[in-house]
Structure 1
């Protein structure tokens, strides 16, 4: 599959952009486990053009994690165009436009999925960004704002006409947030629309290899994007790739291997953000990791309250010893 001049394997697996998750430390880990294309955390156009240091840090890309796309969000066309030019100078493989984030502080202000309430502006913003940068430009969006405005088939055509090189669709409306099941039937309609010729990437509810293959076969998308199911479980990319290639389920890691993966992520996070911020950043991963272990609540609380790397590692040592024979999984293959 190609996104402009970026060449990827057939049916690549993409790590979705996620705020406070997809920093370099997590991207590198997902790359290790087989993700084919990574995206940065959400980058605010307004903050970027104001040279806010925290936002500028999000543009940092390491050679060993490539290819990487920088994802931008904003509600004003001029700001988004200027931000795209700045982001392009950071040397990503592509620029992605966020028309899908449903959270109130973004969508409620007209950015992210909020753009689904103003399709003409969405299309014009996309067109101007495509014209402003030489890199491939892609879009990530949703089915519509709510059930009464699922216009993704028509919107996809309009976005393609601006010159974007790929389109990712999350199979929910903004009103759904992350609730209910993702509706892949509309993603399939976009992919099977004879007018569409750019790669269509499916996103939503890709929680295990069996489901991933089922959706890929049934709806014919060109690639799969995996977001929340990778948190605390970056090996999901390896699981899915193995199943797609062989039709066999990969043996899941045991707890000691999982612990070492978490420890590696923790170390990279601290190196990137410093001890205090690195630990805070890891708490989302720690909260989901080791789900399903019996009699784990007390140890989990202690781990999530730990303030130093030494304390977190002590908890990880205890997990490794106590659950040495247990298998890590947060999802059954239904």
Structure 2
């Protein structure tokens, strides 16, 4: 039987969770990843100011479904009162957990005092966590980084403040804000946070792309849970493999091309149903490119994916990919 961890009163299987990714981890993608075995998912970050100003776009990002549970919604901002009010508003969408983004490196977020900029103001971060935790009756978690830069590595100090301020779990991305998403993640800083934090779970994030790297992350950090972000793009099957391993089941075979294309089509069709075809297809271009990685002739197909406007366009692309595969098989058999 798979072990579980507790995030407040929420029980989560100790396998692998889906990380929050702005513009990527939407409801459709989360549902697909959960179906393939992701034990938990965190939604796209939502502006606390936008939510309190009744932004329709912000509110739409908070919509979740029963298929995703347990699921968290994520808020960002740098004002405790605004964050607390936004958290109260977010409760109407019935999340299991509210996550606070204190790790986003994007200039438009950090440059305005949110996201990873709060790594430079740990006392303010603590005030935000206390305000949010005091405003809602669901667990409040925090996602942050190693530090702002190599001269200000403060993840351990930051983690202790978050723990003392009422966080129910911490997710650590083992890079500084300056490093963005390279070089390789620092597993030692995640391990140091785990040793320093004793009363709540620590979740490790960064560079996990398959079963082997997931197991290595658990072993090297001692983390309570592992979270996968970019490694799941076009690859929800990574969760199936990890779930099978921890379940003691035989490892599943790698997906066939037909399965990849079928799941890609299902995910994008779901997104169209949730967002309208016009909006979803524009966002689907990058997802299609990720799903097509490794396919023969991928470069030209990914270029074509960048022009998708309708589901009919996607169906035509899928047909071309399958036709190319059929021709290649025939050539190889002669």
TM-score by length of 2: 0.93
- Contact map agreement 1:213 1:244 (CA 8 A) in 2: no
RMSD: 1.7
- Contact map agreement 1:181 1:205 (CA 8 A) in 2: yes
> 1:222 Cα shift?
0.4
Residue of structure 2 in register with 1:147 after alignment: 150
Alpha-carbon displacement from aligned partner over 1:190-209 (angstroms, at most 9, x marks no partner): 1123x522000000000111
* Cα distance in 1 for residues equivalent to 2:87 and 2:18: 21
1:4 equivalent to 2:26? Answer no
The change in CA–CA distance for 1:324 and 1:150 in structure 2 (over 3 A counts) is: farther
- Contact map agreement 1:209 1:249 (CA 8 A) in 2: no
Residue of structure 2 in register with 1:102 after alignment: 105
> 1:17 Cα shift?
0.9
SS of residue paired to 2:297: coil
Q: Which runs of 5+ in 2 are unaligned?
A: 329-334
Alpha-carbon displacement from aligned partner over 1:20-64 (angstroms, at most 9, x marks no partner): 112111111011101111111111001000111111111211112
> 1:303 Cα shift?
2.7
1:262 equivalent to 2:256? Answer no
SS of residue paired to 1:202: strand
Residue of structure 2 in register with 1:76 after alignment: 79
SS of residue paired to 2:306: helix
Q: 2:63 aligns with which of 60, 68, 73?
A: 60
Q: 1:133 aligns with which of 131, 136, 142?
A: 136
SS of residue paired to 2:176: coil
* Cα distance in 2 for residues equivalent to 1:143 and 1:296: 35
SS of residue paired to 1:143: strand
The change in CA–CA distance for 1:324 and 1:45 in structure 2 (over 3 A counts) is: farther
Residue of structure 2 in register with 1:88 after alignment: 91
How many residues in Structure 1 have an aligned counterpart in Structure 2?
Answer: 324
> Which segment drifts farther, 136-145 or 249-258?
249-258
Alpha-carbon displacement from aligned partner over 1:129-188 (angstroms, at most 9, x marks no partner): 111111110000001100111111121111101111100000000010111110011111
The change in CA–CA distance for 1:325 and 1:201 in structure 2 (over 3 A counts) is: farther
* Cα distance in 2 for residues equivalent to 1:233 and 1:281: 17
Residue of structure 2 in register with 1:37 after alignment: 40
Q: 2:20 aligns with which of 12, 17, 20?
A: 17
Residue of structure 1 in register with 2:312 after alignment: 310
- Contact map agreement 1:255 1:325 (CA 8 A) in 2: no
SS of residue paired to 1:172: strand
SS of residue paired to 2:147: coil
- Contact map agreement 2:285 2:308 (CA 8 A) in 1: no
Would you identify which runs of 4 or more consecutive aligned residues in structure 1 move more than 6 Å? none
The change in CA–CA distance for 1:324 and 1:259 in structure 2 (over 3 A counts) is: farther
> Which segment drifts farther, 236-245 or 256-265?
236-245
SS of residue paired to 1:224: strand
> 1:300 Cα shift?
2.5
> Which segment drifts farther, 93-102 or 128-137?
128-137
TM-score by length of 1: 0.93
Q: Which runs of 5+ in 1 are unaligned?
A: 327-334
The change in CA–CA distance for 1:239 and 1:273 in structure 2 (over 3 A counts) is: same
